[in-house]
Structure 1
Amino acid sequence: MLSLGKIDHIHICVSDAAQAIAWYQRVLGLNPDPRYRQLQDEPHATTMLANPSGTVRFAVSQEEATSRLPGSIAFVVSGQDFLDWIDRLASERVTSREGVTIARDSVCDHHFFCSISFVDPFGNPFEIVSYDHTWLVGKLKLARTSA
């Protein structure tokens, strides 16, 4: 039976990323995780913060207050389960935030993990991620780009 793994991270949208990161460092002891440095250059300039053991992760993105989208909860699964989840979401006609039905070409390649983002019928955002990156790149025939 198809099931979700543990929560991988919680995505938080803020109006001031620098201020938020400083607060999460000072108050919650979460520090930038260097493994996710390349996410800072992606469209939403995300900084991944983690506790020392890596068991708690927040993905912090700065968004304009007028267009701020709610954060999301990301679940981690194996590579095969990732493919099965894409097929399950597609068969249920689940859509992305943009209203596009989820399909295998909806996968985002983050260079060491892959993700698929979607919303429930009420607009609440979710994400499924897999760190079986090399295997998924081959199965999905994702274009290899330089990091």
Structure 2
Amino acid sequence: MLSLGKIDHIHIRVKDAAVALKWYQRVLGLAPDARYKTDGEHNAAMLVNASGSVRLAISEDPGAVSGAQGAVAFVVSGQDFLEWIDRLAGERVTNREGQTIARDSVHDHRFFCALSFVDPFGNPFEIVSYDHTWLVGKLKLGGHLAV
């Protein structure tokens, strides 16, 4: 049976590529992937994490509608999840409602925890951890169930 391997990259359309590239590098720790060159035919900048397991293709589109696509979700360990909360809070990153990310921004989905936020252009992202039981104890999430 024919099947897909893994996600290669995700396209993110933004109104200002320069601002977006700086934000993704500073906040998410992504760096330009030297293997991909921006040219006339391929005007997307490819950003990658240190291990090469996450790649975002950032392309400038002045007509891009903020937050129009579904969220991009990244999975991390429980400990890393806690560190991401602090990093996003320190960067004053907000959720769709414009509230700054904090520990009370975590959604308990019964078997995983999620933290939803947006980039400066309204593109939605999530950081997810399946270390649910450990996180519920650390964050004292009793009864904070998301729908």
Residues 108 and 144 in structure 2, CA contact (< 8 A), matched pair in contact too? no
Separation in 2 of the partners of 1:133 and 1:120? 25
Task: Name the residue aligned to 1:82.
Answer: 81
CA drift at 1:75: 0.3
List aligned pairs for 1:50-61, cutoff 5 A. none
TM-score, reference length from structure 2: 0.52
Higher helix share: 1
Task: Name the residue aligned to 1:71.
Answer: 70
* Structure 1 spans left out of the alignment, 5+ residues: 1-5, 11-67
* Structure 2 spans left out of the alignment, 5+ residues: 1-5, 11-66
| Cα root mean square deviation, aligned | 2.5
Q: How many residues align?
A: 83
Separation in 1 of the partners of 2:144 and 2:77? 23
Which amino acid in the other structure matches residue 140 of structure 2?
A: K
Residues 93 and 119 in structure 2, CA contact (< 8 A), matched pair in contact too? yes
Question: Percent identical across equivalent pairs?
Answer: 79
TM-score, reference length from structure 1: 0.52
Runs of 4+ in structure 1 off by over 6 angstroms are none
CA drift at 1:70: 2.4
Structure whose CA Rg is larger: 2
Residues 93 and 101 in structure 2, CA contact (< 8 A), matched pair in contact too? yes
Residues 68 and 123 in structure 2, CA contact (< 8 A), matched pair in contact too? no
1:111 and 2:110 equivalent? yes
CA drift at 1:143: 1.2
CA drift at 1:145: 6.9
Task: Name the residue aligned to 1:37.
Answer: none
